[in-house]
Each structure stands twice: as structure tokens, then as C-alpha cells.
Structure 1
């Protein structure tokens, strides 16, 4: 470590969660340059599916921030990411949510109680609370996790589907007459978790159901194309 970095760490103390550099201008988690990068990423159009929305693509910066939300006890990161999303402020999510039948019922994907004891909170519930503040509506714990499943992180699409099959049940007693259910989770990857949650509501559930996550983990081919594009050095001729 360079001596100047040692001095900066001593003077500023806190490090940016994005680049890892010490800074006296954190907001409170990112330095100004990483804030700009987050804003740029929030303007990238992502498309998990026809009934699904994500606020950011999965990128090194957004991955680190959601990791901090899930594993470093920084529960306020959920509100931070929702507030910094251009899609929430004036983009596709804001436009489409304005057209949905009201009220909005934000239903977080539940954690098993063992995982909840480990983390101290459900990150999906924190995200749902932030979305309800941004769009109006309320957080509804209408789903319950029946079984404990292993982490989805390194599983294939087929393994993910088997891992969460029949893992949830709907505990809603009286279905509202109107409104829209918005199923909330942290990351949309293969859709296995959200599909299992939709199955818990049943095919005859009378209200429309949408899905909203913080991140969309794009298919490997799209991620590879993005990485390749960023390695190209364009020459002006």
C-alpha cells in the first residue's frame, strides 16, 4: 500500500464500498466517482421478462452493493439503491407502475427463519419497504417459506428450479378486491425463485402479479458481450 493511501485511511477512515478507496466524501457508502457510475448503470435498460422489472444490471459495482445489503448487515442499502435508480425516478419502472391498478401490494420473497436469524432481517422486505415509499402502497407478508434451501448462487437453472420447488406457500386469507401484487426480491437470475412464489399464489389468483428486483443477472452470453465491448479500444480515424 502506498504511503499516501495509508495517510488517507488514517485521515478519512471509511472506504468506498465500490472502489475500496478511502474518502472523506462518502454519501455515506460511495465516493463521488462511484456515485456517478451507479447513476450510469441505473439508466441501462434491463429486461428480465414481460412481467418483471429490475432497477440495475448485475455489474461489479451493483454486485458489491447488494452483497453489502445481504451479508454485511447494511440494511439501509436497499433504500439507497432504490433512491438512486433512474428507472424509479423517471424511467420505465416509474412509468409502468403509474399505470398499474392500485393499491400496490409489495410482497417480499420470504427468508427461512434460520436465514433470518443469521442476517437479522430479510433484504427483500427492506427493498419492498423502499419501493412502497417510492410508489405508494404497502408491504404485505403474504408468502411463507416452507423449506430451507441452499444458496442459489452457484446452481444451474435446473438445479435452482429443483432447489426452490414447492418452497413457498401463500398465507393470504382474504384477497383484496382490486390492486396489483408486486413480488420483490434482490436479484433476478433464472426466475426460479419468483416462479416458485407465483406458483404459491396459484393460477386462479385474481389480482395481477408483477416482479421487481434490484438487479438482473443477465444470461452468460449477454454478460460476455458486455465484457468484450468494454475491452475494445476504439480508434478515431
Structure 2
């Protein structure tokens, strides 16, 4: 672990990816305070649909970590986040997965070939590999992307659905397993347009159970604002208390 930490510090510096503060106690990416914060957020998985599990909420910390995976080539971040999520140990996601038929097949949401050449890797494949390693399943590239219009990032729900309609086609093996559970894997779940389009590509007669698993759930804007307001109120309360403790008399 010390070797990995030293290499990471040499390549990426001594700054915490969460708060940006310099620290000699990185693990190799987060300082102790941010590790504790990530641990708290790991206790808040989301289930936005009956067949959907999201391991973390989209918060400032998790957003920075997923951006590091997607845009800074920190491929080990997928294993790091999966290993600290409620998909392991006695977490809520882990408990729900115990009820599912095995073996597990993790199918990453595919990138269009032009996007793959631009980025050099598919972050969904890295997440799928981390999940497969943790649960003893395997990664299956059973989907391909037939088109790419624009990024989903700033689109409305209706625009997202149009953007990915018919975007995925099946690439199934000639001898498909008849038992087990298939997880469509992606980095972020927002409206579900992308992953639902993937599930639709398997067809109505697909013999295996289909689920969705993503690292993050992008909460509605109102929930994010409520969370920010709660944090601000908590900080104000701590500051007032600090002032009272320091006041004379």
C-alpha cells in the first residue's frame, strides 16, 4: 500500500481529490476527513426503480471522484468506490444482491467507437470489472452502441430519451446462459434513459433477470438544493456554538 501511495503522490501530487488540501495521509486519493465523508455517503444508496441500485448519491465529493475516473484517467477509482460502497459487507445493496440468482453478468453501457478512441477507455467497463471482481461474476460486452448524438449531461428527461432511443444493439453469444442475473452497469443514473434503452435492446424474450447498477444517483435539483441548505444550516449552527464558547464571561 505504501508503494501505491508513493507512486500516486508522485504522479498526482499530495492533494486530496476531495477537498484539494495537501495531506501526507492520502489513501492514495482522499484525506482522512474526506474518507469519513465518503463512508457516510456510502450509507445512502438509492433505488430509483424496482430494478435499479445506485451505490452513492451525487454530492460534491462523489462528483469529483467520478470526474477523476472519467476525465483524469484514474481507472483504479472504480475499484476504490465499489470497495467502499454498500455493495460490500453488510450494506443495503449487498443484502439485496444476495437474493438474486447467480451467476452475475455485468454488462457495461458501451461507448460509441469514436468516443472510445477519444477517451481511450470506457469507465463503465472499469466499474463492471470492479463489481465482477467483488462478486465473482464476469464482464460481458453484450451490447454495442450504434449511434451517438450528443452528451446526455445537460438534456431534459424527454431529450435524454430521444437521444438514446435505439442507440444500443445486442451482441449476444450464440449460446446464452439460461440462469443468472444481468446487471447493466454505468457511472451515473439520472433519468434512467440510457440504462433503460440498454435493457430494451435485450428484447422481451431475454431469458435472464435484468437489473441496473451505477456508482452514482444524480438527485433531482430540489433535493440537491435542500442538501446544500441543510449543510449551510449545520455549518451556521456550529459557528454560532463556537462563538458562544469563545465569548467572555
TM (norm. structure 2) is 0.86
Point out the structure with max Rg over C-alpha: 2
Give the RMSD, CA atoms, in angstroms.
1.9
Structure 1 residue 53 displacement after superposition: 0.3
Structure-2 change in CA distance of 1:94 and 1:149 (3 Å)? same
Q: Secondary structure at the match of 1:215?
A: strand
Partner deviation per Cα, 1:74-132 (whole Å, 9 max, x = no partner): 11100000011134332121111111111100000001111111211110000000001
- Tell me, in whole angstroms, the C-alpha distance in 2 between the residues paired with 1:227 and 1:187: 20
Q: How far off its partner does 1:13 sit?
A: 4.0
What is the deviation of 1:220? 1.9
1:205-216 equivalent positions in 2, closer than 5 A: 205-216=206-217
Q: Which runs of 5+ in 1 are unaligned?
A: 1-8
- Which residue of the partner structure matches residue 106 of structure 1? 106
CA apart distance, 1:56: 0.2
SS of structure 2 residue aligned to 1:65: helix
Match of 1:193 in 2: 194
CA distance in 2, matches of 1:162, 1:88: 35
Secondary structure in 2 aligned to 1:211? strand
* Deviation larger for 103-112 or 166-175: 166-175
Alignment of 1:50 onto 2:47: no
After superposing on structure 2, the runs of 4+ consecutive aligned residues of structure 1 that deviate more than 4 Å are 233-236
Q: Which runs of 5+ in 2 are unaligned?
A: 1-8, 242-249
Partner of 1:230: 231
1:178 is aligned to: 179
- 1:67-216 to structure 2, matched below 5 A, reads 67-172=67-172, 173-216=174-217
TM-score by length of 1: 0.91
